[in-house]
Amino acid sequence: MAIITLTTDLGDKDIYQAALKGSIYKLLPAVNIVDITNNVAAFNVQQAAFILKNSFYYFPDHTVHLIGIDTVYNTYTRYLAVRYKNHYFVGADNGIFSLMFNDEPDEIVEINIMQDLKFLHFPLADIFVKAACHLASGGALTEIGLPVTSVENKMTLQPVIEKNLIKGAVIYIDSFQNVITNVTKEFFNRVQQGRKFVLYFKRNETINQLSWHYNEVPEGEKLCLFGISDHLEIAINKGNASGLLGLNLGDSVIIDFQ
């Protein structure tokens, strides 16, 4: 069965999500629609990119991922359909593709499906749905658009190395209030080279060892680990790390290798 996933900022209390799903089922009744999330903060491309980047590869090859973030028409933004690692992505060229992909996409087209005027203010339920259903039905990218060679580039805050330090930042806070940084496991290991470390963050808090599991420390105690996203997380066992430790998006963290 064909799969179309949704990553949007449409929320759960308005008509928009229902209109989007109904439009998909009208074109492709047998499709399996999977919500990755419809609760991305409004227009937050970075948040959507982090969630989709770390979840799409759990789905089977040829899954179509429809991205509903900042899709309202404007003169400068293209609508793209992209093939990357045997998955398809349909979204606005607003920087999200550059944030999601570590490598160049295999194929990109600028979608040239004609806009239905009755969906003028909601192209997500028209152009995007038609493109996603076409791909989910096995159609080719070149049948819905013209090839392009690049996507809009949006830079993210990257960790930096200074002598024996990694200087990173908080990039995501999940529903359990675990604090996720921009320091990946690969980056950490490359700099660490087996050395001991101290992780410093807000309020002069420190952690000096990695955990494998959240419950490796007593309840209420802080820890750090590499979670499912392979990014360094600061957490509290069965606690609210963001609130209790005062950590918010953009806050700095420092890893000092001994």
pLDDT > 80? residue 192: yes
49-106: pLDDT as tens digits:
999 999 999 999 999 999 999 888 777 789 999 999 999 999 999 999 999 998 999 9
Q: Report the percent of the chain where pLDDT is more than 70.
A: 98
Confidence of residue 189 (pLDDT cuts 50, 70, 90): very high
- Scan for tokens 């349909």, then name that residue: 90
The CA radius of gyration of the chain, in Å to the nearest whole number, is 20
Confidence of residue 174 (pLDDT cuts 50, 70, 90): very high
pLDDT (0 to 100) of residue 120: 62
pLDDT (0 to 100) of residue 76: 77
Alpha helical stretches, state H, the chain: 16-27, 45-53, 96-100, 127-136, 185-192, 241-245
Backbone dihedral region of 186: left (phi > 0), alpha (psi from -120 to 50 degrees) or beta?
A: alpha
Confidence of residue 242 (pLDDT cuts 50, 70, 90): very high
75 Cβ contact list (under 8 Å, min separation 6)? none
End-to-end Cα separation, the chain, in angstroms: 53
User: Which DSSP helix (H) or strand (E) runs through 236?
Assistant: strand 231-236
143-170: pLDDT as tens digits:
999 999 999 998 877 899 998 999 999 9
pLDDT > 80? residue 209: yes
pLDDT (0 to 100) of residue 1: 84
Per-residue pLDDT, averaged over 219-245, amounts to 95
27-48: pLDDT as tens digits:
999 999 999 999 999 999 999 9
Tokens of 194: 């087996």
User: Which DSSP helix (H) or strand (E) runs through 170?
Assistant: strand 165-173
pLDDT (0 to 100) of residue 74: 74
Contact by Cβ (8 Å): 138, 88:
no
Percent helix, strand and coil across the chain, each rounded to 5?
A: 25, 30, 40
Contact by Cβ (8 Å): 92, 70:
yes
Domains along the chain with CATH numbers: 3-147 (3.40.50.10790), 160-257 (2.40.30.90)
